[in-house]
Amino acid sequence: MTSAESDPSDSSPVATEKIVSLCARRGFIFPSSEIYGGINGFWDYGPLGVELKNNLKAAWWQRMVRERGDVEGIDSSIVAHPRTWEASGHVEHFSDPMVDCRACKKRFRADQLEGIEGCSSREGTSEHDFTEPVGFNLMLQTKIGASEESASVAYLRPETCQSIFTDFKRVREAARQKVPFGIAQIGKAFRNEITPRNFTFRSREFEQAEMEFFVHPSDRDRWFDIWREERMAFHREIGLQESQTRFREHAATELAHYAGRAVDVEFLFPFGWQEIEGIHDRGDWDLSRHSEFSGKDLSMTDEDGERYTPMVVETSMGVDRTALAILVAAYCEEVLEGGESRTVMRFAPKLAPVKVAVLPLSKKLKEPAHAIAKDLRRSFNCFYDDSGNIGRRYRRQDEIGTPFCVTYDFDSQEDGKVTVRDRDTMQQERIPIDGLARTLRERLEGEA
Q: Which residue ranges make up the site for ligand ATP (CB under 6 A)?
A: 159, 191, 193, 202-203, 206, 208, 275-278, 316, 318, 320-321
Residues 6+ apart with CB under 8 A from 212: 161, 164, 165, 182, 183, 184, 282, 286, 312, 313, 314
Give the nearest distance from C-beta 182 to ligand ATP in angstroms: 16
3: which DSSP letter?
G
Give the nearest distance from C-beta 334 to ligand ATP in angstroms: 30
Strand segments (E) across 68-195: 71-73, 95-100, 107-109, 134-137, 140-144, 152-156, 181-190
Give the nearest distance from C-beta 95 to ligand ATP in angstroms: 11
d(CA 208, CA 167): 18
Question: Position 28: which residue type?
Answer: F
Q: Of 363, 369, 264, 239, give the one whose Cα is nearest residue 317.
A: 264
Give the nearest distance from C-beta 92 to ligand ATP in angstroms: 16
CB nearer to ligand ATP: pick between 187 and 360? 187
CB nearer to ligand ATP: pick between 26 and 321? 321
Instruction: Return the C-alpha torsion angle 44, 47, 48, 51, nearest 10.
Output: 90
CB nearer to ligand ATP: pick between 40 and 425? 40
Angstrom CA distances, 87 to 57, 138, 286, 369, stand at 29, 16, 8, 59
Handedness of CA 19, 237, 313, 164 (dihedral sign): positive
d(CA 432, CA 439): 9
363: left (phi > 0), else alpha (psi -120 to 50), else beta?
Answer: alpha
CB nearer to ligand ATP: pick between 39 and 431? 39
Measure the N-to-C terminal CA separation of the chain; round to a whole number of Å: 23
98 CB neighbour count, 10 Å cutoff:
19
CB nearer to ligand ATP: pick between 268 and 332? 268
CB nearer to ligand ATP: pick between 4 and 263? 263
d(CA 248, CA 265): 6
CB nearer to ligand ATP: pick between 51 and 277? 277
Give the nearest distance from C-beta 370 to ligand ATP in angstroms: 40
Question: Position 333: which residue type?
Answer: E
CB nearer to ligand ATP: pick between 163 and 203? 203
Task: Decide: residue 17, CB within 10 A, 0-12 exposed, 13-18 middle, 19+ buried.
Answer: exposed
Give the nearest distance from C-beta 282 to ligand ATP in angstroms: 11
d(CA 445, CA 422): 14
What is the radius of gyration, based on Cα positions, of the chain? 25
Contact call for residues 68 and 230 (beta carbons, < 8 A): no
CB nearer to ligand ATP: pick between 290 and 321? 321
Comparing every residue's Cβ against ligand ATP, the nearest one is: 318
Give the nearest distance from C-beta 338 to ligand ATP in angstroms: 42
Give the nearest distance from C-beta 269 to ligand ATP in angstroms: 12
CB nearer to ligand ATP: pick between 93 and 364? 93
Give the nearest distance from C-beta 197 to ligand ATP in angstroms: 10
Contact call for residues 171 and 74 (beta carbons, < 8 A): yes
Contact call for residues 89 and 198 (beta carbons, < 8 A): no
d(CA 287, CA 295): 11
CB nearer to ligand ATP: pick between 190 and 394? 190
242: which DSSP letter?
G
Give the nearest distance from C-beta 76 to ligand ATP in angstroms: 16
Give the nearest distance from C-beta 138 to ligand ATP in angstroms: 8
Give the nearest distance from C-beta 189 to ligand ATP in angstroms: 7
CB nearer to ligand ATP: pick between 201 and 408? 201
